[in-house]
Structure 1
Amino acid sequence: MTMPFVVPRSPGLEPATWAAYGLTTLTVIPLVWRRRAPVVVLLAILATSGLYRLALEGPGQPLPYTGLVIVYTIAALSPPWKRLATALLLVVAVPVSVWLNTRSARELTFSLFVFGAAYVFGRLTDARQRAHRVEAEQAAARERARIAREMHDILSHAVSLMIVQAEAGPVAVRTAPERAEAAFDAISGTGREAMVQLRRMLGVLRDGDDAPRAPQPDLGDLGELVERVRASGLDVVYETADGPGGGARSGAGALPSATGATIYRIVQEALTNVVRHADARTVRVLLSYGDEALEIRVTDDGRGPRPGSGGHGLVGIRERAAAHGGTATAGAGPGGRGFEVRAELPVPTRAEGAR
């Protein structure tokens, strides 16, 4: 609306005045408060625009930019009742403005179109922002669930092994002091390892992107995990096997690190359940590599399915498998004896692994 004050006007038109210039400025200043009181700003803009047209007949532009801005803001930020009030107000104000200006159907159609477009763009902005907030909330929920699974796995595994060793310690002190010493060493080592992993996780939560990143446990750490559980007195057999066409793939390096970490956590939770609930003597951990999937079986010779065996640990195993497009089941072992956790994870093809 300030162009007529910068570019010389046609001699046949009324010259621009400083009063008109000042009133034009008053139609823009209220936009500073458009987010705090958008409807009030709209009324102020309509009032100053009407005064400009009726009192001064100044050389303003036919397109009300300030009105479009405030309509967009109301559509994007205001509740439904304010949007409805704005729409009703515009239905009256736009025809009146056209009648005071050119009184042409063309201007009326154009004005309704541009104000309608401003309103639609405002609603689209609001919808996009809502979608972003929903995505952010869903991402936060997934992250909370992931952290809860990690902390459950770390603490449940460590505490279970420490309890078993602590219960065996007093008996070993009286009958086999060397075994008691080994039990206390195992308790100490398990506790230190749990503290390291918890500090690492809490450091990431506290410091965010500035926290040092340490690698997650992987297939290469399964041997150490088995040894820790074996130290509790449980006979653990760890085996790998190749399914049809799987011979060239049976190694930690053939799998993505995220898949390896998931396999580690599944085996860890399954062994923790054996230590806590199974009253078993032996447990077998078997990884079977195939062309398209890797199968994990953790089978014990304990007392089989137990009431409440669908707790957080098994739920976490199913969630971890599902996150990689796999499945997990738990139930009675072969022949109805013992208990077995079985998970199947899809793995990359050789071509994908090469990339």
Structure 2
Amino acid sequence: MERAVRARAWLSDRLGRVDPMVADALLALFSAGVSLWSVYDDTPAWSWWVYLLAASSSFALPWRRRFPGAVLLASTVPAAALSVVAHSVMPQVQVFAVVAIYTLADRGRDWQRLLTLAVLVVGNIVGTRSPSGALFSLLVSVGSFVFGSLVRELRRLASVEAERAHQVELRAASDAARAVAEERARIAREMHDILAHAVSLMVIQAEAGPLVVRSDPDRAVRTFDTIADSGRDAMVQLRRVLGVLKEDGAGPLLAPQPRLAELPAVVERVRASGVRVDARIEECGPADVQAAAYRIVQEALTNTVKHAEASRVTVRVARAGAELAVEVSDDGRGAVGPTDAVSGWSGGRGLVSIRERAAACGGSAQAGPGPSGRGFRVAARLPLQA
């Protein structure tokens, strides 16, 4: 069985390498041979010009693929002349006519095909002397036309399927490129949120440490402990991100997904920097919503520590109907420069990240001055269900 499959594959490969022009030339020789044999086998003996007329019906077949209409005409004219002067030498099955009709039905223009079909039907009925002969001629000629039309339709369907497969491939490549771009943007957000938060706290604590190291050694020790905790937490989260990048086939589902249960640790580190934090956090919602809420609060607290010069910040994360409401507000100096999430504050990247995270969950985020224009407020609404 395996040997037969290999043999068929070898034969198909060999046939596929044959030049179509060479194949059609061999077909023309075969057709001419059939016609010449029919003249030779007829009685009485015919002159040389009858042989030439019989063979000439096949001369144009090598060009049948490029000029199907002209080849059919070039084959029909000498065949019609031969039928008039020596009808008895015409072969029972005219190979050149079968091939030419099939080719025109397959490759010809629509008007050529319709005209040929009409001429075949009328010509075979009118030009054949007996009903049985007319029926046989119709079966051969119209059958060749029908077979060529079927091949034409199959080729059209194959072309449609190939184009469809090409479009699917293009869409798949586009989707893959878009997924890569989205994943890169997501990882950039993760890296920004992790590093910005940790480094901001570490810088503030490091700046405060020397000021209290002599007057309040215990506070200095706590300050340096906070720096170490922030650094360790950043390293843990960075390992999560880098682990996803290193793992073959890792996708967004394997990416770091912090939960709201981890948010109190972030709050404590902010408190250790000297800012009073009033936090009420309700742990609810699917993993992606909790991760988005975590990062939004983290980024808002980072902005407060870096820019607000605030003494107090309020954090609220709670269910509000079918949404998770997130709000972070402080009593600091308020926005510096543009205050919307598109234009940005804190250099623009932080609030853009907040907006993108909220939009990724189907929600929305706002940022701007707090009540009466004092302080700064970040608020987001995240649907709990898709």
TM-score by length of 2: 0.64
**Change beyond 3 A, Cα 1:290–1:137:** same
TM-score by length of 1: 0.70
Cα deviation for residue 152 of structure 1 reads: 0.5
Number of the residue aligned with 1:207: 247
Amino acid at match of 2:327: R
Number of the residue aligned with 1:233: 274
- 1:176 equivalent among 200, 211, 216: 216
**Take 1:127 and 1:51, find their aligned partners in 2: how far apart are those partners?**
38
Cα deviation for residue 128 of structure 1 reads: 1.2
Contact 1:95–1:108 under 8 Å retained in 2 = no
Contact 1:23–1:48 under 8 Å retained in 2 = no
Number of the residue aligned with 1:329: 366
Number of the residue aligned with 1:300: 330
Amino acid at match of 1:225: V
**Take 1:312 and 1:206, find their aligned partners in 2: how far apart are those partners?**
26
**Change beyond 3 A, Cα 1:96–1:156:** farther
Identity level (%): 43
- SS of 1:174's equivalent in the other structure is coil
Q: Is residue 150 of structure 1 aligned with residue 187 of structure 2?
A: no
Contact 1:217–1:264 under 8 Å retained in 2 = yes
Cα deviation for residue 320 of structure 1 reads: 0.6
- 1:274 equivalent among 297, 304, 315: 304
Number of the residue aligned with 1:314: 351
Amino acid at match of 1:270: A
CA deviation profile, 1:312-335 (whole Å, cap 9, x unmatched): 111011111001110001000011
Contact 1:162–1:191 under 8 Å retained in 2 = yes
CA deviation profile, 1:46-65 (whole Å, cap 9, x unmatched): 2343134124469xxxxxxx
**Take 1:122 and 1:173, find their aligned partners in 2: how far apart are those partners?**
75
Q: Is residue 132 of structure 1 aligned with residue 160 of structure 2?
A: no
CA deviation profile, 1:202-258 (whole Å, cap 9, x unmatched): 111012347996862211111111001111111111025xxxxxxxxxx42x41112
Number of the residue aligned with 2:205: 165
Structure with the greater alpha carbon radius of gyration: 2
**Change beyond 3 A, Cα 1:101–1:180:** farther
- 1:265 equivalent among 273, 292, 295: 295
Amino acid at match of 2:153: F
The structure whose RCO (Cα within 8 Å, separation 6+) is larger is 1
Deviates more, 1:281-290 or 1:337-346: 281-290
Amino acid at match of 2:268: E
- SS of 2:321's equivalent in the other structure is coil
**Change beyond 3 A, Cα 1:271–1:316:** same
- 2:157 equivalent among 117, 123, 142: 117
The unaligned stretches of length 5 or more in structure 2 are 5-9, 33-62, 76-95, 102-116, 118-144
Give the aligned CA root-mean-square deviation in angstroms. 3.0
Contact 1:94–1:111 under 8 Å retained in 2 = no
Contact 2:275–2:311 under 8 Å retained in 1 = yes
Number of the residue aligned with 2:15: 27
- 2:383 equivalent among 346, 349, 352: 346
Contact 1:266–1:320 under 8 Å retained in 2 = yes
- 1:92 equivalent among 66, 80, 85: 66
The unaligned stretches of length 5 or more in structure 1 are 1-5, 7-21, 31-43, 59-88, 241-250
Figure out how many residues of one structure are paired with residues of the other and give that number: 274
Number of the residue aligned with 2:23: 49
Deviates more, 1:231-240 or 1:118-127: 118-127
Cα deviation for residue 96 of structure 1 reads: 7.3
Amino acid at match of 1:200: R
**Take 1:293 and 1:119, find their aligned partners in 2: how far apart are those partners?**
50
Cα deviation for residue 305 of structure 1 reads: 1.1
Cα deviation for residue 93 of structure 1 reads: 5.6
